[in-house]
């Protein structure tokens, strides 16, 4: 790669959650919803397109607005938000964008001649009588469409299932004809929701939202967000309509379930809802997901991690890192922005983001500004972690900090390990550099920074020197 790839993989000012990655030609495209910095609800922006060459996953290019919020006749006044979309290539070679607005229960479709857009409104998923799916008597509301086209049949997966709502049965699969709109086979429940999980094998990981579908070999992988929200799970079947069998967790945006370097039930980031999918790029499979930033749930950013399959096709849960698409650890020297920290937590475990008193990744400026993001709200005992670096002879570490505070930052190679060095630091009206000499271990290493002191320092960057 020309440059290194980080998590989040897009610029720090961009907020594209719900990522659906696809390889079209020699580029990987990610389709998602569009949050705003300091957004008051989910998905307030137009759909933006982003793509990268398959051989350089650090080189992301903005394709601009690929579909505006007002592109659909039902939202000409712009009062509704575009929720998570998906894209498929139809039998006619064109690209079809499936989406649902936040205040309706039917699926809209837009079309483009190229994967980069722009997309234009095409129609609504409907039956042969012209009635929209989701509007008919007995229909369950449509939500979070995922699509897969094989030949002249397109499989549409939808659904939202909250706890306590027995009217929502699970994820639905509907078969569409070659016009990409007309129902050929009515919806069937392919993965159960939490109110109907008993005895299914999905207990504790039932379908909540975020339907996505991929095929690997002869096996269909249904990727979804479970009722605990922070995890993406998968289920497999030999037929796209099911029955699907629960497979496991692919990724958790707070690393719950990952043991070894920590207890498996310990969250190391402030989690929240999750949405994404899997894709093969140049022979390597990845899971795309999102994380919460800015201290709430409405400014989410896309991340990705490599995944692996065993001989039976099972996916091992991926660990969240700072270097997901990089092809390996980051170089153990140079300046790194603080917003690529994959771990951020306090001594008292907190599972979900949303408390304004917690540390958070944030920024001073509004959307589309190149100014760097940083970590604010750091308090006594806060742990900030970066994984991983390929270290060779790191002898000095520098932190860029500001705000009213007085204390020390411990440098560690494990979140609960001994302090390898200590950086004494104090109040700074602007960004100032604080350094220490350190004998940091060589090899593939994590870097943890633990604050001990008073006040609430802010951290903008970390520099490793050899």
Q: What is the DSSP string of 318-365?
A: PPP-S-TTTTSPEESSEEEEGGG-SEEE-SS---BS--TTS-EEE-SS
Length of the chain: 466
Residue 428 has pLDDT above 80, yes or no: yes
Helix (H, G, I), strand (E, B) or coil at 195: helix
Residue 404 has pLDDT above 90, yes or no: yes
List C-alpha distances in Å: 455 to 316, 338, 345.
Answer: 40, 19, 17
**28 Cβ partners below 8 Å, 6+ apart?**
21, 22, 51, 52, 53, 54, 57, 279, 281
What pLDDT does residue 367 have?
A: 64
C-alpha 71: how far from chain center: 25
What pLDDT does residue 365 have?
A: 79
Nearest CA to 221 out of 154, 162, 287, 140 is that of 287
What pLDDT does residue 14 have?
A: 95
What pLDDT does residue 371 have?
A: 85
Residue 297 has pLDDT above 80, yes or no: yes
Structure tokens at 227: 């009722």
- Starting at the earlier edge strand, list the strands of the sheet with 231-237: 207-216, 219-226, 231-237, 245-252
**pLDDT confidence band for 200 (50 / 70 / 90):** very high
What pLDDT does residue 370 have?
A: 76
Pairing mode, if any, of strands 146-150 and 153-158?
A: antiparallel
Q: What are the residues facing 86 on neighbouring strands?
A: 98
Helix (H, G, I), strand (E, B) or coil at 297: coil
Question: Per-residue pLDDT tens for 373-388?
Answer: 999 999 999 999 999 9
Annotation marks residue 209 as catalytic: yes
> From the CA atom positions of the chain, what is the Rg in Å?
22
The count of C-alpha atoms lying within 13 angstroms of the C-alpha of 357, restricted to the half-sphere facing its C-beta, is 4
Region 213-222: mean pLDDT is: 98
Q: What are the residues facing 447 on neighbouring strands?
A: 386
Beta strands (DSSP E) in 217-269 are 219-226, 231-237, 245-252
**Mean pLDDT estimate for the chain:** 97
Question: Per-residue pLDDT tens for 15-60?
Answer: 999 999 999 999 999 999 999 998 999 999 999 999 999 999 999 9
- Asked if 222 and 171 count as a contact pair (C-beta separation under 8 A), the reply is yes
CA 195 – CA 207 distance, rounded (Å): 10
The active-site residue, picked from 14, 86, 197, 209, is 209
Q: What is the DSSP string of 53-100?
A: ETT-TT--EEEEEEE-GGGSGGGTT--S-B---EEEE-TTS-EEEEE-
CA 97 – CA 197 distance, rounded (Å): 31
**376 Cβ partners below 8 Å, 6+ apart?**
359, 360, 361, 362, 403, 456, 458
Residue 247 has pLDDT above 80, yes or no: yes
The active-site residue, picked from 18, 72, 197, 319, is 18
Region 143-147: mean pLDDT is: 98
Percent of the chain at pLDDT > 90 equals 98
Residue 368 has pLDDT above 70, yes or no: no
Question: Per-residue pLDDT tens for 259-269?
Answer: 999 999 999 99
Question: Per-residue pLDDT tens for 154-179?
Answer: 999 999 999 999 999 999 999 999 99
What pLDDT does residue 1 have?
A: 72
Reply yes or no: is the peptide bond before residue 56 cis, omega within 30 of 0.
Answer: no
Question: Per-residue pLDDT tens for 53-105?
Answer: 999 999 999 999 999 999 999 999 999 999 999 999 999 999 999 999 999 99
Annotation marks residue 14 as catalytic: no
In 3-state terms, the chain is what percent helix, strand and coil (to 5)?
Answer: 5, 45, 50
CA 165 – CA 188 distance, rounded (Å): 18
CA 381 – CA 457 distance, rounded (Å): 12
Residue 366 has pLDDT above 80, yes or no: no
Region 195-219: mean pLDDT is: 98
Which ranges of 110-221 does DSSP label H, i.e. alpha helix? none
User: What are the φ/ψ torsions at residue 412 (nearest 5 degrees)?
Assistant: -135, 165
What pLDDT does residue 369 have?
A: 75
Domains in the chain with CATH codes:
20-307 (2.115.10.20), 330-465 (2.60.120.260)
**pLDDT confidence band for 452 (50 / 70 / 90):** very high
């Amino acid at each position: 790669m020309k440059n290194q790839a980080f998590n989040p993989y897009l610029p720090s000012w961009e907020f594209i959650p719900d990522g659906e990655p696809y390889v079209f030609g020699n580029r990987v495209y990610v389709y998602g919803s569009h949050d705003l910095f300091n957004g008051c609800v989910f998905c307030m922006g137009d759909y933006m397109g982003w793509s990268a060459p398959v051989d350089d996953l650090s080189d992301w290019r903005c394709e601009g607005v690929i579909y505006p919020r007002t592109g659909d006749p039902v939202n000409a006044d712009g009062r509704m938000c575009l929720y998570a979309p998906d894209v498929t290539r139809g039998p006619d070679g064109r690209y079809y964008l499936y989406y649902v607005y936040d205040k309706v229960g039917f699926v809209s479709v837009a079309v483009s001649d190229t994967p980069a857009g722009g997309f234009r409104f095409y129609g609504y998923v409907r039956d042969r009588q012209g009635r929209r799916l989701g509007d008919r008597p007995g229909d369950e509301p449509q939500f979070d469409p995922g699509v897969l086209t094989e030949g002249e049949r397109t499989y549409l997966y939808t659904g939202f299932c909250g706890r306590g709502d027995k009217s929502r049965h699970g994820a639905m699969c509907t078969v569409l004809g070659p016009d990409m709109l007309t129902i050929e086979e009515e919806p069937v429940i392919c993965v159960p929701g939490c109110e109907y999980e008993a005895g299914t094998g999905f207990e504790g990981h039932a379908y909540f939202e975020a339907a996505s579908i991929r095929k690997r070999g002869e096996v269909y992988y249904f990727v979804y967000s479970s009722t605990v929200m922070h995890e993406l799970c998968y289920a497999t079947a030999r037929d796209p309509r099911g029955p699907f069998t629960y497979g496991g967790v692919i990724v958790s945006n707070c690393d719950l379930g990952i043991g070894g370097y920590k207890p498996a039930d310990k969250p190391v980031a402030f989690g929240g809802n999750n949405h994404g999918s899997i894709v093969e790029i140049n022979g390597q499979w990845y899971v795309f997901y999102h994380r919460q930033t800015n201290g709430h749930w409405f400014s989410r950013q896309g991340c990705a991690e490599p995944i692996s399959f065993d001989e039976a096709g099972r996916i091992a849960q991926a660990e969240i890192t700072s270097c997901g698409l990089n092809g390996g650890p980051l170089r153990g020297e140079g300046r790194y922005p603080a917003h690529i920290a994959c771990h951020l937590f306090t001594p008292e475990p907190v599972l979900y983001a949303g408390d304004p008193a917690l540390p958070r990744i944030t920024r001073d400026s509004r959307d589309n500004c190149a100014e760097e993001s940083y970590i604010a709200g750091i308090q006594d005992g806060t742990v900030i972690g970066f994984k991983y670096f390929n270290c060779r002879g790191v002898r000095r570490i520098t932190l860029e900090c500001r705000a009213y505070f007085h204390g020390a930052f411990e440098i560690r190679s494990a979140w609960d390990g001994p302090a390898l060095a200590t950086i004494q630091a104090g109040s700074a009206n602007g960004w100032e550099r604080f350094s220490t000499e350190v004998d940091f271990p060589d090899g593939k290493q994590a870097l943890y920074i633990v604050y001990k002191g008073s006040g609430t320092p802010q951290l903008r960057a970390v520099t490793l020197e050899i």
